[in-house]
Chains A and B, each alone.
Chain A
Amino acid sequence: MKGAFRLVNGVILLYLLAPIVVVIATAFGTSAYPIFPPQGFTLKWFVHFWSTPELRDSLRISAMLSLTSTTLATIIGTGSALALARHGIRGKSAISTMLLSPILFPAIVLALALLVAFQRIGLAQTFTGLVAAHTLVITPFVVRLAMASAAEFDPSLEEAAQNLGASWQRTFFRITLPLILPGILAGAVFAFIMSFDELVVTLLLAGPALQTLPIRIFNYVQYSSDPTISAISTCLIVAWLAIGIPVYTRFLSVRHS
C-alpha cells in the first residue's frame, strides 16, 4: 500500500518535472534540433545564444524593461503596503483586493484592454507603454510581500524612535525601512522574475521593435526547432532558481498564513 503510494507519487513528480529536465538536457545535445535523450555534449548552443545579435538585443530589452518596471512597482507597492498594513483606513479589505486584482484577471483580457487603450493615446508599441503595463501586472506581488512584512512590524518601535527624538524621516529610514526591507526585497525579486517572463501582455503591446526574450522564444518555437531555445531556457531556469527559491518560499508562507 505504502509502496504503491510512493510509486504513484514518483510518477506524478516525474511528469511534473519532465519538461524542465528535457529542456535542460537538450541544451547540451549536439544534434541540430532538440532531441531527448540528447546525444553528445556541447556548449555551442549557449555560445550561439550569446553571439546572436538579435537574441542579445532581446535580452537587453527584457532586462531594461524588467528593471525599470520592477523599480517603479517596488516604490508604488511599498507605499501601498505601508498604508494598508499600518494605518486603519476605511474599506481596507476592498482596497487591498482592488490593488491585488491585476493578478486575478486573465492576462489576455488585460492585454486586449491595454492594447485598445494604448492605441488611442499612442502608447502601443512603445517602451513606455510596456513599462506601464508591466508595472501594473507586477505591483501586486510587491504589495503582497511587503504588506506581510509591514504587518509584522511593531508600531511601537516607531513611537519609541520619535520618543527618543527622531524626526519622521529618521524614524522611517533608520527603523521602519530596515525592518520591512526583507519583505520589500522579496517582492522586488519576485516582481522582476514575473516581469522578465511575462509574455501575453507584452505580445499584444510590443510591436516588432521591442521583441523581449519571451516573445523571441515564443516565435522561435512556433516556427522552428533549435536547441538555442533550450540553452536560453536553461539560463533562465538556473537564474530564477538561484534568486527565486528563497523568495518564493517566503511568498508561499505569506499566502498560507
Chain B
Amino acid sequence: MAYLALRNLSKVYGTATVVKDFDLSVEAGEFVALLGPSGCGKTTTLRMIAGFVAPTKGEIWIKDTNVTPLPPHRRNVGLVFQNYALFPHMTVRANIEFGLKSHHVEAAPMNKSVGSVLELVGLTPYAERYPRELSGGQQQRVALARVLALKPDLLLFDEPLSNLDAKLRVQMREEIRRLQRELGVTALFVTHDQEEAMTMADRIVLLERGRIAQVGTAEEIYDHPRTRFVAGFIGTANFFEGSIVSVAGRKVFRCKSGLEIEAHAESSDFGAGTIAVRPEKIEFVSPDATHAQPGVIRQATQLGATMEYAVDLKLGDRVIVQEQKRPRVALRRSGEQVGLTWQAADTIFLRN
C-alpha cells in the first residue's frame, strides 16, 4: 500500500461541497504539489490531513495506519503555515523546543535535535532571537525547522512561499526541495502558483472545484492535458472549438469559424470538441505559403527572452503566438501580414 493514501475524501459545509471524492496515493519520499485556483479545495484537503478539519466522508491512511479519527496532536504530520504561525512570545530555540517538549523528549536528545535542525536551515546564530527580529525568509526556515525537529511522517506546506518576495521565493523553492530530498521525507505542497508546482514537484495534482482534474508530472500535464481547464491553467493555449470530420479519408478538425486544422487525434476521436495549441508551437511563415493560415499581427508584447504576438486570422480567430528572440532577426510589428503554421502532432484534441 502507498505511503500516504487518501480514500474517497469529501468535505461538505452545509450545501457547499468543498472537496469531493478525493483519491490519491503518494509514495514514500515523493514531493507532490496540490495545485489549483483559490477555492478549489486544496487547503481544505491539507487541513483534513493535518486533522483540523474532519472529513465528511472518506479516510486518510499514513504508513498503513488510518489516522482519520486521530486528533491533530496525535498525527505526527508536520505543517508549515502560510503565515508561518511562529509563537511570537518564544525565541527561535523555544519555538523548536515546543514540539519536542510536547512529545516529552528529554533534555539531552532535545538539545541535540534543536542544534541539528538549526544547522540544517542555517539559523544557528539566530537561536536566541524572537520571530519579529527575523526576516521573512528566516521566519520561513524556523517554521520548517520546527516541524523537521519532530521527524514527521509527512510534511505539509500551505502556500508557504506566498508571503516572500519574488527572488527569495525562487531561492526557498530550491532550499525546500534540497532539504526534502536530503531527509527523504514525503511532502505535500499546496500552491496556486503553477510555476512553483512545476519546478518543485515530482507530481502535480491539479484541482478544480473540489475535484481532481488531473494527476501527473509537469511534462505529462503540460503536454497531455485532459481537459480544457487543465490546458488553460497550466501554461497558456489557443483554443479552437469545432468538431472532427472526415475529409477525403483524412481526419480534419473544422472550427466554427470555418478554419480547418489538421488534427492529431486517435482513430476513435470523432465529434465535437476543442483543439488546443500552445503558443510556442506555432511558427510564422510567409502569408501566401501553402497550408499556412493568413492573418495580421494586432499586438506585439515583450516578455523578455520571448515575444508574444496576437494575430487575427482572416477567418476571424485570434491566435496567440510566442516566438523566441534570435540574434540578427528583427522583431515583428503590429500590422504585419503573416502566415501561421503548426504541426498536427502539436495539437491537443479535447473532447467535450
Q: Which residue of A lies closest to B47 (CB)?
A: A159
A164 and B98: CB pair below 8 A? yes
With A154-B85, A156-B83, A157-B85 already in contact, the answer to whether A163 and B71 are too (CB < 8 A) is no
Which of B76, B81, B83, B102 is most buried by chain A, counting CB atoms within 10 A of its CB? Answer: B102
Query: A170 contacts the other chain (Cβ, under 8 Å)?
Result: yes
User: Once the chains are docked, how many angstroms separate the CA of A160 from the CA of B142?
Assistant: 13
For chain A, residues 120 to 178, give those with C-beta under 8 angstroms from any C-beta of chain B: 154, 156-157, 159-167, 170, 174-175, 178
Contacting residues, chain A, for B50 (C-beta < 8 A): 159, 163
Contacting residues, chain A, for B74 (C-beta < 8 A): 165
A165 and B52: CB pair below 8 A? no
For chain B, residues 69 to 108, give those with C-beta under 8 angstroms from any C-beta of chain A: 71-74, 76-79, 81, 83, 85-89, 98-99, 102-103
Query: A110 contacts the other chain (Cβ, under 8 Å)?
Result: no
Contact of A156 among B85, B99, B150 (CB under 8 A): B85
With A159-B72, A170-B102 already in contact, the answer to whether A165 and B150 are too (CB < 8 A) is yes
Please classify the interface of chain A as helix (H, G, I), strand (E, B), loop, or mixed, using the class held by over half of its residues: helix
A159 and B81: CB pair below 8 A? yes
B98 and A161: CB pair below 8 A? yes
Query: A179 contacts the other chain (Cβ, under 8 Å)?
Result: yes
Mark interface residues in A53-68 (1 if CB within 8 Å of B CB, else 0): 0000000000000000
B89 and A179: CB pair below 8 A? yes
A162 and B71: CB pair below 8 A? yes
User: Once the chains are docked, how many angstroms separate the CA of A164 from the CA of B80?
Assistant: 10
Contacting residues, chain A, for B52 (C-beta < 8 A): 159, 162
B85 and A160: CB pair below 8 A? yes
A164 and B146: CB pair below 8 A? yes
Query: B276 contacts the other chain (Cβ, under 8 Å)?
Result: no
B99 and A154: CB pair below 8 A? no
B103 and A160: CB pair below 8 A? no
For chain B, residues 142 to 201, give those with C-beta under 8 angstroms from any C-beta of chain A: 146-147, 150
Contact of B98 among A159, A174, A178, A179 (CB under 8 A): A174
| Interface size counted on chain A using CB atoms at 8 A | 17
User: Once the chains are docked, how many angstroms separate the CA of A156 from the CA of B85?
Assistant: 6
A165 and B99: CB pair below 8 A? yes
Contacting residues, chain B, for A164 (C-beta < 8 A): 73, 98-99, 102, 146-147, 150
A178 and B89: CB pair below 8 A? yes
Contacting residues, chain B, for A165 (C-beta < 8 A): 73-74, 76, 99, 102-103, 150
User: Once the chains are docked, how many angstroms separate the CA of A162 from the CA of B98?
Assistant: 10
With A154-B83, A157-B85 already in contact, the answer to whether A163 and B147 are too (CB < 8 A) is yes
Closest-CB distance, B70 to chain A (whole angstroms) = 11
Closest-CB distance, A165 to chain B (whole angstroms) = 4
Q: Which residue of B lies closest to A160 (CB)?
A: B85
User: Once the chains are docked, how many angstroms separate the CA of A164 from the CA of B73?
Assistant: 6
User: Once the chains are docked, how many angstroms separate the CA of A166 from the CA of B150?
Assistant: 12
Q: Which residue of A lies closest to B96 (CB)?
A: A164
A163 and B78: CB pair below 8 A? yes
What are 25 A-to-B residue pairs whose CB atoms are below 8 Å? A156-B85, A157-B85, A159-B50, A159-B72, A159-B81, A160-B81, A161-B87, A162-B52, A163-B72, A163-B77, A163-B79, A163-B147, A164-B73, A164-B102, A164-B147, A164-B150, A165-B73, A165-B74, A165-B76, A165-B150, A166-B98, A166-B99, A167-B102, A170-B102, A174-B98
| 4 further interface pairs, Cβ-Cβ under 8 Å (given A156-B83, A160-B79) | A163-B79, A163-B147, A175-B87, A179-B89
**For the complex of A and B, 9 pairs with smallest distance between CB atoms:** A164-B99, A160-B85, A165-B102, A162-B72, A156-B85, A166-B102, A163-B79, A162-B73, A165-B73
